[in-house]
Amino acid sequence: MKIIIKGTLPGRNEAENAARTHWSKGRDFKRTWTDYVAYQTVGQCIAPSDRPAKARVTFYEPNQKRDQDNIISGLKYLCDGLVKAGVLKGDSPRYLRFESVRVEYDRDNPRIEVELI
């Protein structure tokens, strides 16, 4: 099954900047982006799975301005959002293993594609 999250997720730099102002800002920041992923996932009517899943994740960025390590840090919001949406039981290795994580570029359609196997 394939899940598509529109747009881009914030990187580690943005999360750290939010958390530096006050602990509750960091909490709210994480909650906002986790909810964003969960909302988009629920809208795609993905059936929940009890079995462990392998994931292939591709981040499509609009340009090459962000470092790849900063882009990939969005996996935290992605995994937590999939759990919150009920697609996965958990995001521990018991329930989810990453087969591949890539960064590609698409100026006109930035998105994140998650293929669960």
How confident is the model over 1-51, as pLDDT tens digits? Answer: 899 999 999 988 888 888 898 889 889 999 999 999 999 998 887 877 778
According to the model, what pLDDT value does residue 36 have?
A: 96
What pLDDT is stored for residue 44 in this prediction?
A: 87
Return all residues near 32 (Cβ < 8 A) that are at least 6 apart: none
Query: Is pLDDT at 73 greater than 80 in this prediction?
Result: yes
The pair of three-digit structure tokens given for residue 54, joined into one six-digit string? 């392998």
Question: How many Cα atoms within 13 Å fall on the side-chain side of residue 107?
Answer: 3
DSSP type of residue 47:
P
